[in-house]
Structure 1
Amino acid sequence: MSKLRFGVIGIGNMGSGHAYSLLSGKVRGAELTAVCDGFESKREWARTHLNGAAVFEDSSSMIDSGLVDAVIVATPHYDHPTEAIQAFDKGMHVLIEKPAGVYVKQVREMNEAAASSGRTFGIVYNQRMNPLYRKLRELIASGELGEIRRTNWLITNWYRSQAYYDSGSWRATWAGEGGGVLINQCPHNLDLWQWTTGMMPVRVRAFCAFGKHRNIEVEDDVTAYVEYANGATGVFITTTGEAPGTNRFEVTGDRGKIVIEDDKLTFWRLRESERAFNARNKEAFGAPECWKVEVPIHGGSTEHVGIIQNFTDAVLNGTPLIAPGEEGIHGLTISNAIHLSTWIDGWVDLPLDEALHEAELNKRIAESSSRKAQVQTDAKPADLTGTF
């Protein structure tokens, strides 16, 4: 195979953006050969704007056409696992948009289907291409920071107005999206939280406010506290109702502290480990010597195109995936645990009680103001400016 032929499932905002990236030749070794969508208005848009790509009503027909080797799943959240499993069953390589799904059980089933298929499976965690977070991961994995003791992420710059939520009947509903800021805006942050540190929590206590700042039924304000197996703790705070917002990720270890904020990575590095200093220190108010280091970051982030390029290289050349699809379950597990902790008003241990979470979610879906049939009606294709 000299070129990987892509089909895009769902040509709303993200799907149309991916289609344009492929069509314009931004991804080496890849080509857009087909797209599909259940809405005629979007298919008509595709016929006009995606010259040369075959247009289908559904993914099954597109895959059965023999025109594609791989698919990008860019449908509403609930349908990501369903579409991926069907594609694996038909021998496709699969790249899914974030989040991996809405609840862990369906994502676990998707991961099992991927493993059985033997095909390449990726997820569009485009923030893994950001050199800031790649450097943080490198510093932690190398032991430069020592054993992690605390993580704190204050991510409140996801501002969304009521007009944003009113732009689609499916937005910010349990039936339409399956959640609010955690499932829509924060999947990247939740992924990076565990990916950079290499740590998953062992238990979670969280407090979500539903419709606190906006007239919506899902969470728009979250404070979560987590504990790790090594005794470290973490806090994750997010909202869509705060302006101006903050994005500050802080990781403290035995050998100092790293902060990512304002597109900079700062390392307050201890001359010796805190543990070693404490063992030898005899001064009542002594403290370890510390150097402030502004860590140089080289290059920019290739974002979505970078992920699609890496996925293409993985299929064609065996290049290791930066964002394996199977890893989508990690951030989603944290998200599910945060929801569940709020719903039951108590601690949630990991591994997650998937059945309990699904039962609680289904209660809210049953009362939701949206229905899945409405989910795609308001999603618009991108305007082909490259911003989506």
Structure 2
Amino acid sequence: MKNVRIGVIGFGSMGTKHAANIQGEHIKGATLTAILVKRVEQAKTFEENSGEKIKVFTDEDAFFNSGSVDAVIIATPHYFHSGLAIKAFEHGLHVLCEKPAGVYTKQVREMNEASKKSEKIFSMMFNQRTNPLYQKVKDLIQSGDLGEIRRINWIITNSYRSQSYYDSASWRATWAGEGGGVLINQCSHQLDLWQWVTGMMPSRLRAFCHFGKYRNIEVEDDVTAYLEYENGATGVFISTTGEAPGTNRLEISGDQGKIVVENGGLTFWRLRISEPEFNLEFKGGFGEPEYWKIDVPIGGTTTGHPGIIQNFVDAITMESALLAPGEEGIQSLALSNAMQLSTWLDNWVEFPIDENLYYEKLQEKIVDLQDNNYI
């Protein structure tokens, strides 16, 4: 295939960045050929300044029937992701979708089914998967160096957001416009990494979400969740947008040691022998396994959004393996949906979650369905 002709759907802060990356020749084998947007002024300005002819559409059907694109990047508010992706698949187009995959897993499952039926390339914009730091964490776990996972703790409170941020767009931090708060917006990447590096989904969780605790918003801005796994491992996930200064610390313990990710570094406390083996053999009363503190070197650079787009294009043109397969977007969303549902029910939520019950409870939160536009 010659250059993949890409159309960007939605032209807000992320849509413009993705378009600029393609237009700036940061992506090999791709050409920006079209933009679908409801508010055309910014797109028209981009087109005029680009020096090349880019078709700007305001009508979905005209865009999808134009024959001007081979693939789309969806960068709209969350509720539109699934419907637009399904429509793209039905028109034989490849899809790269911004995070999160959607608002509720039921709609994302439909998107995944449409992807499978179309046999087109489907990827998610989980750009943190390009970070060599988290790739190394995944490698240490999947290779068995950490042993069997026993505990996962992540405090991620450094995504501070002021009231002015929430006031910047009417769809932000509303059930009707965004479908959630810190979990679905700021923590989509961390919840994706949580299950991606470990290769594990919980069996059940109990969460405590606070809605509008620090800001005048409808949705959650403070969360503490406790998770349990089939192998006996547990996890604690803590996040908020209302603390400063914040913390970003990931700690994963296994029976072969402990991993800590903080301040851009990775430390591995590696046991000389596994904890179960030490416990079986040691007869001295007080004591603990010998361990070595290793500051793990991290090679390579984070390629971020351009890296995911390049990987998407390479998958289309060269059949390269996807770093962030679209079908995996449902995993992190299931975690955030479960945390909200647990709070609403004031009870444990088991996996797989009751998708119909979550959808029913979400609709109860939506009082006025706003007239959202692509931005």
TM-score above 0.5: yes
**What one-letter code is carried by the residue in structure 2 that aligns with 1:147?**
E
Q: 5 Å matches for 1:1-388?
A: 1-52=1-52, 53-365=54-366, 367-368=367-368, 371-374=369-372, 376=374, 379=375
- Deviates further, 49-58 or 252-261: 49-58
Give distance in 2, aligned partners of 1:48 and 1:204: 51
**CA deviation digits over 1:117-156, x for unaligned, max 9?**
0000000000000000000000100000000000000000
Give the fraction of aligned pairs with identical amino acids, expressed as a percent: 60
Give distance in 2, aligned partners of 1:50 and 1:97: 23
**What one-letter code is carried by the residue in structure 1 that aligns with 2:26?**
K
Q: Kindly indicate whether the alpha-carbon contact (under 8 Å) linking 1:43 and 1:57 is maintained by their aligned counterparts in 2.
A: no
Kindly state the Cα deviation for residue 354 of structure 1 after the two structures are TM-superposed: 0.2
**CA deviation digits over 1:53-103, x for unaligned, max 9?**
111113332231111100001111000000000000000000000000000
Q: Kindly indicate whether the alpha-carbon contact (under 8 Å) linking 1:176 and 1:375 is maintained by their aligned counterparts in 2.
A: no
Kindly state the Cα deviation for residue 356 of structure 1 after the two structures are TM-superposed: 0.3
Give distance in 2, aligned partners of 1:95 and 1:221: 30
Give distance in 2, aligned partners of 1:189 and 1:375: 27
Q: Kindly indicate whether the alpha-carbon contact (under 8 Å) linking 1:159 and 1:245 is maintained by their aligned counterparts in 2.
A: yes
Q: Kindly indicate whether the alpha-carbon contact (under 8 Å) linking 1:108 and 1:329 is maintained by their aligned counterparts in 2.
A: yes
Q: Kindly indicate whether the alpha-carbon contact (under 8 Å) linking 2:40 and 2:56 is maintained by their aligned counterparts in 1.
A: no
The gaps in structure 2 that reach 5 residues or longer are none
| TM-score normalized by the length of structure 1 | 0.95
Kindly state the Cα deviation for residue 290 of structure 1 after the two structures are TM-superposed: 0.6
Q: Kindly indicate whether the alpha-carbon contact (under 8 Å) linking 2:205 and 2:338 is maintained by their aligned counterparts in 1.
A: yes
Q: Kindly indicate whether the alpha-carbon contact (under 8 Å) linking 2:38 and 2:373 is maintained by their aligned counterparts in 1.
A: no
Kindly state the Cα deviation for residue 49 of structure 1 after the two structures are TM-superposed: 3.6
SS of the residue 1:372 aligns to: coil
User: Residue 50 and residue 357 in structure 1: after superposition, are their counterparts in 2 closer, same or farther (change >3 A)?
Assistant: farther
Q: Kindly indicate whether the alpha-carbon contact (under 8 Å) linking 1:201 and 1:228 is maintained by their aligned counterparts in 2.
A: yes
**What one-letter code is carried by the residue in structure 2 that aligns with 1:170?**
W
Kindly state the Cα deviation for residue 4 of structure 1 after the two structures are TM-superposed: 0.8
Q: Quote the RMSD (CA, aligned, Å).
A: 1.0
Q: Kindly indicate whether the alpha-carbon contact (under 8 Å) linking 1:20 and 1:50 is maintained by their aligned counterparts in 2.
A: no
**What one-letter code is carried by the residue in structure 1 that aligns with 2:275?**
E
**What one-letter code is carried by the residue in structure 2 that aligns with 1:330?**
Q
**CA deviation digits over 1:230-278, x for unaligned, max 9?**
0100000000000000000010000000010000000000000000000
Kindly state the Cα deviation for residue 35 of structure 1 after the two structures are TM-superposed: 0.8
Give distance in 1, aligned partners of 2:143 and 2:2: 37
- Deviates further, 161-170 or 13-22: 161-170
Q: Kindly indicate whether the alpha-carbon contact (under 8 Å) linking 1:46 and 1:55 is maintained by their aligned counterparts in 2.
A: no
Kindly state the Cα deviation for residue 375 of structure 1 after the two structures are TM-superposed: 5.0
Q: Kindly indicate whether the alpha-carbon contact (under 8 Å) linking 2:36 and 2:58 is maintained by their aligned counterparts in 1.
A: yes
Give distance in 1, aligned partners of 2:131 and 2:9: 26
Give distance in 2, aligned partners of 1:206 and 1:148: 21
Give distance in 2, aligned partners of 1:51 and 1:106: 39
**What one-letter code is carried by the residue in structure 1 that aligns with 2:370?**
K
The gaps in structure 1 that reach 5 residues or longer are 380-388
Kindly state the Cα deviation for residue 298 of structure 1 after the two structures are TM-superposed: 0.6
SS of the residue 1:342 aligns to: helix
SS of the residue 1:122 aligns to: strand
**What one-letter code is carried by the residue in structure 2 that aligns with 1:373?**
D
Give distance in 1, aligned partners of 2:27 and 2:115: 24
Kindly state the Cα deviation for residue 374 of structure 1 after the two structures are TM-superposed: 3.7
SS of the residue 2:371 aligns to: helix
Give distance in 1, aligned partners of 2:298 and 2:142: 17
Give distance in 2, aligned partners of 1:330 and 1:106: 13
Give distance in 1, aligned partners of 2:352 and 2:137: 26
Q: Kindly indicate whether the alpha-carbon contact (under 8 Å) linking 1:271 and 1:289 is maintained by their aligned counterparts in 2.
A: yes
Q: Kindly indicate whether the alpha-carbon contact (under 8 Å) linking 1:150 and 1:251 is maintained by their aligned counterparts in 2.
A: yes
**What one-letter code is carried by the residue in structure 2 that aligns with 1:63?**
F
